[in-house]
Structure 1
Amino acid sequence: MSAQPTQTAPNLVNIEVDGKPIQVPKGSMIIEATDKAGIPIPRFCYHRKLPIAASCRQCLVEVEMGGRPMPKPQPACATPVAEGMKVLTRSDKALHAQRNVMEFLLINHPMDCPVCDQGGECELQDMALGYGRSVSRFTERKRTIADEDIGPLVATEMTRCIHCTRCVRFISEIAGTYEFGSMDRGDRHVIGTYIGKNVESELSGNIIDVCPVGALTNKPFQFKARAWELIAKPSIAWHDALGSNLWLHTRRGEVLRTVPRDNEAVNECWLSDRDRYSHQGMYAADRIGAPEVKRNGQWQATSWEDALECAGAALKKAPGSELGILLHPATSNEEGDLLMRMARGLGSAHVDHRLRQLDFADNAVAQPFALPVAEVEQVRAALLVGCDLRYEMPLLNHRLHQAAKKGAKIYAVNPAHFDFNYALAGEAVVAPQALVNALLALAKAAVAAGANAPAALADAISAARSDEGNDAAIAALKQAVSAQGRAVVILGEAAATHPQASWLRAIARFIADATGAGYDELPVGANAVGLARLGVVPGNGGLDAQAMLAQPRKSYLLYGVEPPHDFADGNAALKALHGADQVVAFSAYASAALREVADVILPIALLPEIDATLVNVDGLAQGVAAGAKAPGQARPGWKVLRALGGALQLAGFEFDDLAGLRDGIADRAAAPRSGLAARASAGGITRLATWPIYRSDAVLRRATALNAHPLNRAPAVRLNGDEARRLGLDSDGPVRVADVQLPLVIDAAVPDGTAWIEAAQDLTATLPPYGASITLSKA
């Protein structure tokens, strides 16, 4: 019988690598084929997530086509495969080329491995061991390069740079900020910022990971430890609801640095600076390591037994109807469920984690994304509503940035001109009080395109005014879906925390349904989706977070909450807590404000220090084991709650370990309701309050390097020039808002009728909340 021909799929080609036949996709580069086959090829400039540069030439291999060898070795990273190609990665010709390239790369390298932070995990070290010479044949003096100060996060030692341009390609193609580049040629060739400025990207720390040498290193970690001293513990990020996967690098239980852990569906191989550097805040001066009780107005450190007895007595002093339980939206599933058990045991229906929410008309809670994170990169059109996506969820913005590079049309309706790193196809920037009307105009365009308006919105949509820009946005969303593509409507934190968020949410959902787009609402809090799934919200007759402050309780239990910074209305929070008879605080920190209002502080561990479960924006429950040690006598929150619940003899606290606790956890998903807030017209100047990227929780507010970063702007009143002139203000003097003096910044990004004053700053945390009418005057 004659031999049968080999069948090859139409999108595959047959090649041979070092005598091994393999099939690889058409259009692949040789290095991609060998990586999939497990055949190593040395490289420096190549990175699977970055555009090909072919600048280092370390991956030179011998290639044969049609039985004839190519005259020169070819770069494996830039040579596409072809049918019948033969590749030799270990031939004499290939090895000779690779060793010669290594010798050239080391001509000017300082060879300072003993003092380099990259020592022990350096690609150049590894490659030099395999492909380098023991003695250099070059005797010329090595060149030196002056270092640039590019900010508080990344340290530079550019004499070590081998010009692979990975950092340049990352900053331009992934971060999208074009802050790094190559300058000059030959022996004057340098990598750096063009005008000697800080790198201000929210993803800048990733250039440390992609750098194959010690030219770019982690500045806060500098000279702290060697790679072999560190223990890597898998963990997850907890400053937004994406749940990026990461490694905690610890020594003797202390987190010294954080690096990304690959997960293509969540964070790929990247990590935002917020998640990379926040660990500094874990070791702040006001981290509390022992239980404390206030007696006769004085704080005293005490034993756990005494502190739990005092806490139990305080919680039982008032009836359950007078107890309010407020917890941070990053609280884990285990702790959230125990707090609900405690609330039931004490007879309280007043439990809430939605501290930054102002509008509860629809009882909204965080929901998983309709369009998963991994698919956002494939959208052909997107609508952003009240969304500063770069700073609210940096790695989701990265996905949208990649979609924009492929031609996606992105539209925005925002209360300020936010700084996107891609061009918008259309944008409406209106004052906060006009945001609902601007979105209604888009909804009217959707109705004109054939959609049926829901009854609750019909009159408002009918009264709205639309224009050609709105028609274009609706058409782009519909066209993206009809062309077998994807589209998404993303509701951001500036909309979810808006005083009329129920309107924005309902209209955005209608637009998504009318166009066939996915509806993704950014959760406010790292575990807001998990806490909503467990029903950690008010029970029947219970008060929500804002109502608990407007109708003060006699007792409060605060869990992981730092007043006033974590509240939408910090002044109302302080007023309610000051007026309470007793306040029991479970906290990792003892801030001055917390000491003023609390009666008992029970020190709890932070997420990297506990076993916990968090649910991300895709509804994925991610478990994490303790990777670091809590300081002093601080304990995991679930253990403290178990001890307190046991001391109070409450039902549901009989378990012995974490497994027993998890066995008793059941989903009790909170049910949203249909409802719309009253639309009161606001006059004068309205406050726009957004949470700064590096001040959204207590740990970030204590991370020194992040707080020194330019993205962490100083507190100020931001007005556009015309508005400032109308109010008789100028940038030379401070402005008075309520009882606070703030500098004035003229900012063209702010619309008329708006004062942009960021929240969570020490000076701004107690100002009137988002959407409130404020009076500005010269100080």
Structure 2
Amino acid sequence: MAVNAPADTVTLTIDGREVTVPRGLTVLQAAESVGIDVPTLCNHEILEPVGACRMCVVEISPGPPRPMASCTTPAADGMTVKTDTDEMQQIRRQTIELLLQHHPLDCPYCDQSGTCELQDETFGLNIWSSPFETVSKAFPEENLNEVIMINHNRCILCYRCVRVCDEQMGVHALDVSDRGSKSFIVTAQHKFMDCERCGMCVEVCPVGAVLSRPFKHQARAWQTVQTQTTCPHCSVGCQLQLESRKGTVLRARARPVAEPNRGILCGKGFFGWEHVNDPSRITAPMIRRGGELVEVGWPEAIEHVGDSLLEIARREGPESIAVVAGNELSVEDGYAFARLARGALGTANVYQAESGFAKAADAIEAHLGTAALFPDQDAVLNSDFALVFGADVNGTHNVLAAHMKAAARAGQMSYATATRVGSGLDVFANSKLRIKPGDEISFLEALAEPTAESAAALGIDSAQLSGLAGKLKNAERAFVIWDTGAWTRGREAEIATAASRLASTTGATLCPLPETANAAGIWRAGIGPDLLPGRIPADDSESQAALGTAWNSPPTGCGRDFAELSSSGELAALFLAGIEDSAQLPGGTVNAAALDDVRLLIVQATHAGPLTELADVVLPGAASAEKDGHLISFEGRANHLEVSVPPPGHARADWEIAARLAEYVGFGFGHRTSSGLWQELGSFGVAQHQPGDPPAIKENGQVRQPTADLPLVLANETNLFSGNRNLRRGEVLSGIYSECVEIGSSDADWLGLSGGEQAVLRSAFGSVDVEVQIDDRVPAGVVYLADGLTGAAGEQLYPGGADGRPVSLRKAGPA
């Protein structure tokens, strides 16, 4: 027995080695902690143990005179454990032999070959045949949905797929039918598996039973190159493994088990990689000549852009040039363009693309200080109470929502939802209510000071409103969580101000979730006309001097507001990096007129789109899988990007293009890699602001009431299968969720609409033709339109923000 072992540990002997581990670990975990390998097929590090496969049996004394499953047996003081006796080896051999009685030996054909755990254990035990009569199953392969299929013949009934869907994702899309050896995996609905398409059932399957349809027969595991990188599809910052072959991304895996995703992914991270391999990628620089874009080499493109910008700066002044950095660029990319603009071109007109998070963060920082931003995920998941309001976070930040559901299921946390449509978080919420799109600010103000009148105005039960307010105020650790995406457009700062006031009143911590993978990184890097790198005020003379030394060029002071500059007629050249849609311009499409007025429009992007059609010069940038750098998550965590595949053709990393332009105009960066830019930016630090004036009361958060002509209210938010344009490229995710609007069945009856019909969605500004889907998660009087769809954009209905605005919906055809 170990001397002076802490009270919260246990000491046992495993295969002759004395092991001390924290109390509560299993025998299997204790063995693994000292490198003793105990075979298992059903156990998985992100799942609760069930002891289904019996491969991990060990001898334990003192204890029952029979083999014990080490995965379900708690380690205890004084135990003596033997894992590798002849008897244990024979039991494992018989277990494998029994499995092989039914399991088809189709390894050369199976996608799991090379990573199959049954294959590994069979070879490890030197099993070359089974003494039992082969009883083959003969089930046909079954497509469970658009992306997942199952081969029942290979299933070993470990139940991992069922358990991960339950325990980690909180969905319960899979179940087990029948009993004993006749058991098999079925969809919980006993029909088409209408789940979240996260792919985790595929990820945890130890054999080739649950399969990815897009990956089927694409490559063997040993033929792929594995790269650890960060998912670029939201601001959770999931760590994953990209597998590629011959320069093509084939699939993503939820590996390693690390923060922040803890071994899980959502459908966007698992399946959302078609954009990298898209044949319509921009692969070479192009210059418009005679009205047509003509491909040129990099030397000619750099010379043309550099000379054109210098000439405009000479004739009209550098202040006539503006640079906009997209929110999906890496931190290094954004910093490189800020340095190009300020240090090389001499213009302070450098902007972050339209970002709800940037405006919300500015408001929160002004009222509560910088320390009020970037809460820790672990603190959220161990909070006493959390309120999720606005958009469905299960759709916008699915992995965080999955963690919240798992934590609530385990009793770690309690949360409530106050969303406009049914949320995937509702299933484990201790309180859920619906608020009308446009009423969110009024709702936050009512929570700060709940009254019967405010509850009635919102159509909420007064007791429920008071109960929520009380939980926020009485909880020792409370959080207010919301997505800063499309639904906040046009009122980002107002929502954040109301949330800040609620935080001041109740003591809750705010958790705004950036709408893109690196909106927080571009914001924190200080990409703005009144900011220097590190969010230092542009008029700070000491910082200007430090930057001047680092850049070998004095940075410019404050620039102009983009809306004012774009409407002044004085904007001569506009450089858009990482932007493919006018909705991404600062201020959104309301400032799109600037695109027609500039004399030189440079668009740097990965794919052709509406902006490249207008551009005078197009420069091919790199996708996230093709460059290194960093993305900043909602926690403020710096997550690393690694190069998984080379950029196609002559495409280059965005920071590299900025560096080559800066060098051409005489102010080179002096860095050959992005890591030099990262270290340089880090040397400036990040400005910390103290709390400012208390947030003012907002009297009314409603955007606009419905009318007789426009009787419905629009809910415009990101969902599980929409978001940035990259997710809609290819057939996988776009095939899961069509270009549509959703309405409840009562409204469908009233409007005379059926699911799958074409309809016209109209606003005061325009209309779009859409397919109708009927789903009762959408309340009566509300029309749900996912953001990021290519055909039905909310910006076409209400430029500058469509959510909460009145609309009408009628069957397509003559009015």
Instruction: Give the TM-score, by structure 2 length.
Output: 0.85
Q: 1:51 aligns with which of 24, 48, 53?
A: 48
Q: Deviations over 1:183-226 (max 9, x none)?
A: 11234221121445444444632222211111123322222221
Contact 1:441-1:466 within 8 A present in 2 as well: no
Contact 1:328-1:561 within 8 A present in 2 as well: yes
Q: 2:519 aligns with which of 517, 528, 533?
A: 528
Q: Which residue of 2 aligns with 1:704?
A: 731
Q: Which residue of 2 aligns with 1:331?
A: 329
One-letter amino acid matched to 2:26: M
Q: Which residue of 2 aligns with 1:404?
A: 408
Q: Secondary structure at the match of 1:95?
A: helix
Share of identical aligned residues, percent?
28
- State which drifts further: 465-474 or 379-388: 465-474
Post-superposition shift, 1:505?
Answer: 1.2
Q: How does 1:212-361 map to 2 (within 5 A)?
A: 212-262=206-256, 264-316=258-310, 317=312, 319-344=317-342, 345-357=344-356, 360=359
Distance 1:774 1:667, change over 3 A: farther
Distance 1:432 1:313, change over 3 A: farther
Contact 1:385-1:412 within 8 A present in 2 as well: yes
One-letter amino acid matched to 2:394: R
Q: Which residue of 2 aligns with 1:451?
A: none
Q: Deviations over 1:366-408 (max 9, x none)?
A: 9785531123222231101213111211111122112211343
Q: 1:101 aligns with which of 87, 95, 113?
A: 95
Q: Secondary structure at the match of 1:33?
A: helix
Q: Which residue of 2 aligns with 1:605?
A: 622
Post-superposition shift, 1:681?
Answer: 5.0
Contact 2:329-2:518 within 8 A present in 1 as well: yes
Contact 2:391-2:487 within 8 A present in 1 as well: no
Q: Secondary structure at the match of 1:379?
A: coil
Q: 2:445 aligns with which of 440, 443, 462?
A: 440
Q: Distance in 1 between matches of 2:57 and 2:329?
A: 51
Q: Which residue of 2 aligns with 1:555?
A: 573
Contact 1:381-1:488 within 8 A present in 2 as well: yes
Post-superposition shift, 1:774?
Answer: 3.7
Q: Secondary structure at the match of 2:725?
A: coil
Contact 1:29-1:80 within 8 A present in 2 as well: yes
Contact 2:395-2:424 within 8 A present in 1 as well: no
One-letter amino acid matched to 1:688: A
Q: Secondary structure at the match of 1:432?
A: coil
Q: Distance in 1 between matches of 2:357 and 2:642?
A: 34
Q: Secondary structure at the match of 1:290?
A: coil
Q: Deviations over 1:405-462 (max 9, x none)?
A: 13433222223333326332223322222221112111114x99xxxxxxxxxxx99x
Q: How does 1:116-135 map to 2 (within 5 A)?
A: 116-131=110-125, 133-135=127-129
Contact 1:491-1:508 within 8 A present in 2 as well: no
Contact 2:354-2:583 within 8 A present in 1 as well: no
1:661 and 2:672 aligned: no
Q: Distance in 2 between matches of 1:181 and 1:596?
A: 50
Distance 1:426 1:549, change over 3 A: farther
Q: Secondary structure at the match of 2:137?
A: coil
1:61 and 2:89 aligned: no
1:718 and 2:742 aligned: yes
Q: Distance in 2 between matches of 1:728 and 1:550?
A: 44
One-letter amino acid matched to 1:391: G
One-letter amino acid matched to 1:690: E
Q: 1:208 aligns with which of 187, 202, 205?
A: 202
Q: Which residue of 2 aligns with 1:759?
A: 787
Post-superposition shift, 1:509?
Answer: 2.6
- State which drifts further: 29-38 or 319-328: 319-328
Contact 1:202-1:391 within 8 A present in 2 as well: no
- State which drifts further: 171-180 or 472-481: 472-481
Contact 1:413-1:439 within 8 A present in 2 as well: no
Distance 1:202 1:507, change over 3 A: same
Q: Distance in 1 between matches of 2:179 and 2:644?
A: 46
- State which drifts further: 52-61 or 79-88: 79-88
Q: Distance in 1 between matches of 2:153 and 2:586?
A: 48
Q: Which residue of 2 aligns with 1:695?
A: 722
Q: Secondary structure at the match of 1:106?
A: helix
One-letter amino acid matched to 2:664: A
Distance 1:162 1:305, change over 3 A: same
Instruction: Give the TM-score, by structure 1 length.
Output: 0.88
- State which drifts further: 683-692 or 669-678: 669-678
1:16 and 2:34 aligned: no
Distance 1:229 1:506, change over 3 A: same
Q: Distance in 1 between matches of 2:514 and 2:361?
A: 15
Q: Distance in 2 between matches of 1:148 and 1:748?
A: 29
Q: Distance in 2 between matches of 1:238 and 1:751?
A: 32
Q: Distance in 1 between matches of 2:99 and 2:651?
A: 50
Q: Which residue of 2 aligns with 1:735?
A: 760
Q: Distance in 2 between matches of 1:491 and 1:547?
A: 30
Q: 2:612 aligns with which of 589, 595, 598?
A: 595
Q: How does 1:280-679 map to 2 (within 5 A)?
A: 280-316=274-310, 317=312, 319-344=317-342, 345-357=344-356, 360=359, 363-364=362-363, 370-407=374-411, 408-420=413-425, 422-445=427-450, 467-481=462-476, 486-493=477-484, 497-539=488-530, 542=559, 553-564=571-582, 566=584, 571-572=589-590, 574-591=592-609, 593-649=610-666, 651=667, 653-665=669-681, 666-667=684-685, 669=687
Contiguous gaps of at least 5 residues in structure 1? 449-459
Q: Which residue of 2 aligns with 1:457?
A: none
Contact 2:268-2:721 within 8 A present in 1 as well: yes
Q: 1:682 aligns with which of 695, 704, 711?
A: 704
One-letter amino acid matched to 1:687: L
Contact 1:534-1:667 within 8 A present in 2 as well: no
How many residues are matched?
Answer: 753
Distance 1:101 1:752, change over 3 A: closer
- State which drifts further: 225-234 or 740-749: 740-749
- State which drifts further: 578-587 or 101-110: 578-587
Q: Which residue of 2 aligns with 1:82?
A: 76
Distance 1:575 1:369, change over 3 A: same
Post-superposition shift, 1:510?
Answer: 3.0
Q: Distance in 1 between matches of 2:44 and 2:202?
A: 13
Q: Secondary structure at the match of 1:100?
A: helix
Contact 1:735-1:742 within 8 A present in 2 as well: yes
Q: Secondary structure at the match of 1:107?
A: helix
One-letter amino acid matched to 1:185: R
Q: Secondary structure at the match of 1:113?
A: coil
Q: Distance in 1 between matches of 2:153 and 2:702?
A: 61
Distance 1:201 1:573, change over 3 A: farther
One-letter amino acid matched to 1:512: A
One-letter amino acid matched to 1:11: D
Q: 1:149 aligns with which of 143, 154, 167?
A: 143
Q: Distance in 2 between matches of 1:516 and 1:91?
A: 58
Distance 1:522 1:630, change over 3 A: same
Post-superposition shift, 1:139?
Answer: 2.4
Q: 2:32 aligns with which of 30, 35, 51?
A: 35
Q: Deviations over 1:104-147 (max 9, x none)?
A: 11110101111111111111111011225322212243122232
Distance 1:479 1:96, change over 3 A: farther
CA root-mean-square deviation: 3.3
Post-superposition shift, 1:723?
Answer: 5.2
Distance 1:611 1:213, change over 3 A: same
Contact 1:63-1:74 within 8 A present in 2 as well: yes
1:162 and 2:188 aligned: no
